Amino acid sequence: MTTTSGHDSIPQPLLVLSEDEQLFRDNIRKFAEESIRPLVREMDERGSLDHSLIEQFHQLGFMGIEIPEHYGGGNGTFFEAILAVEEVSRVDPSVGVMVDVQNTLVNNALLRWGTEAQKQQYLPKMAGEWVGSYALSEAGSGSDAFALQTRAEDKGDHWQLNGRKLWITNGKESNLFIVMATVDPAARYKGITAFIVEKDFPGFVVGKKEDKLGIRASSTTELILDECRVPKENLLGEVGKGYKIAIETLNEGRIGIGAQMLGLAQGAWECAARYAQERKQFGQTLTHFQAISFQLAQMATEITALRLMVYNAARMKDAGVPFVKEAAMAKLFSSQVAERVASQAVEIFGGYGFTKDYPVEKFFRDSKIGSIYEGTTNMQLMTIAKLILG
C-alpha cells in the first residue's frame, strides 16, 4: 500500500514521512534520548516507572495523540501514535508499552464506543493527567479470552462486578480501566460486556505486581473486583457486545505491539552497530570481519521489512480499509524480528552483551513478551491462516 499527498495522486513510499510526521517523530526521539534514556537502567533494576515521566508524557501530548482537540487531545492520526510507540521503545520498550496501551487500546475504545457524556468526562483526563489500562485477561482465559469468568450483575441503579483480572499493563499507574465482564458465563462471548471502571470505585483493588523477565519498569498487576460498584452510565457500548469491543480494539493494539517490537529491534541494532564500529580484535574493528558486517546487514534488512509492515498496517487503519490480516502479520513478524535481532546483538557484544553494563541484555529480555501479549504467536498464525485460506 502507498500513501498520497493532499495535493496530487503521486504514490508516496511508506517509509517517507510528511513534514509534520517527521517533526513529530524527531521531537519524540529527542525527548526519549534526553529524558528517558538516562533513567532506563535504574527503572529496570527498580522494576518501576519513574513517575516524573508520566507528567511529561501528558504535557507533551503523548497520552492523547488521537483524541480530538475539543477534548484536550492532539487530534493526531493512528499512524502518529505508532510513530510515538516506536520511538519511545527504541530507547525503552517498558515505557513504550505505556504509550501504546494508552493510545491504541484505552483511548481508542473510548473514542469508538463511548457515549458523548463518557467522552466529555474521560477523554480530557486521559489526554491531560490520567493513565489507562485494558483489563481482559484472567487466570483461566488467556488466548481463550472469551472464557472469562468475571461477573457483571445488574443491580438496578448500578452494576456490580466480581472477579479477578491478571497481567494488566499499567495497573499500578492507572486511574481508569476498561474492564471486560460477563453477564452470563454460559453465553460465552455473547455475554461479555465492557465497563469503564475508575480506580477509586468501591470494591476495586489493584493487587500484586508481577516480577517479570522483561519490560520490568512497566507495571503488570492483578485486579480484584469484590462487589465493585460501577455506575449505570459507565457501561461501555451495549450489554453483550463487549466481544466486539475486545476484538476490534485488540486488532489495532497489535499494530501498537508491532511498533514496540520495531523500536526495540532498531534500538538493539543501533547498539550493536555502534559497538562493532568501535570494538577492535586482531588489529581492526569488528565491522571489517565479513561475518559481523553481514550479520548487521541481515538484521537491518529484517528491521526495514518490519517497518514497512507496521507502517502499512497503520496507514491502512487510518485509511479506513480492512487491516486485520496486516495487523496480525505485523505483530507476528515483529516479535520474531525483535527476538532475533536482540539475540544477535548480544552475540556481537560477546561477553559484554551478557552483562547488565550494556543495553542489549535488556533489549533481549524485553523482546520475549512480543510473542505473548495481545495475542500469542499461535493466535496470530491462526488469524492469518483463516484470512488467507478463506
150 and 71 co-located in one domain: no
81 and 110 co-located in one domain: yes
Please tell me the distance from the alpha carbon of residue 99 to that of residue 132, in angstroms, as a whole number. Answer: 10
139: closest CA among 83, 192, 210, 72? 210
270 and 370 co-located in one domain: yes
330 and 254 co-located in one domain: yes
- pLDDT tens track of the chain, all 390 residues? 444 444 444 456 889 999 999 999 999 999 999 999 999 999 999 999 999 999 999 999 999 999 999 999 999 999 999 999 999 999 999 999 999 999 999 999 999 999 999 999 999 999 999 999 999 999 988 788 778 999 999 999 999 999 999 999 999 999 999 999 999 988 989 999 999 999 999 999 999 999 999 999 999 999 999 999 999 999 999 999 999 999 999 999 999 999 999 999 999 999 999 999 999 999 999 999 999 999 999 999 999 999 999 999 999 999 999 999 999 999 999 999 999 999 999 999 999 999 999 999 999 999 999 999 999 999 999 999 999 998
Q: What is the domain count for the chain?
A: 3
Helix (H, G, I), strand (E, B) or coil at 150: coil
Domain of residue 197, CATH code: 2.40.110.10
Stated pTM of the model: 0.95
385 and 247 co-located in one domain: yes
337 and 226 co-located in one domain: no
**Which cell goes with 342?**
536482540
108 and 170 co-located in one domain: no
30 and 100 co-located in one domain: yes
45: closest CA among 100, 92, 111? 92
Q: How close are the terminal C-alpha atoms of the chain, in Å?
A: 22
379 and 269 co-located in one domain: yes
Domain of residue 278, CATH code: 1.20.140.10
Catalytic residue among 66, 173, 222, 374: 374
Residue spans of beta strands (DSSP E) within the chain: 3-4, 11-12, 132-135, 151-154, 158-169, 176-182, 192-198, 204-209, 220-231, 235-236, 280-281, 284-285
- Residue 211 · residue 123 · CB < 8 Å: no
What residues make up the domain containing 220? 133-241
227 catalytically annotated: no
Last residue of a domain, one of 87, 116, 131: 131
Got the DSSP string for 294-338? HHHHHHHHHHHHHHHHHHHHHHHHHHTS--HHHHHHHHHHHHHHH
50 and 153 co-located in one domain: no
34 and 171 co-located in one domain: no
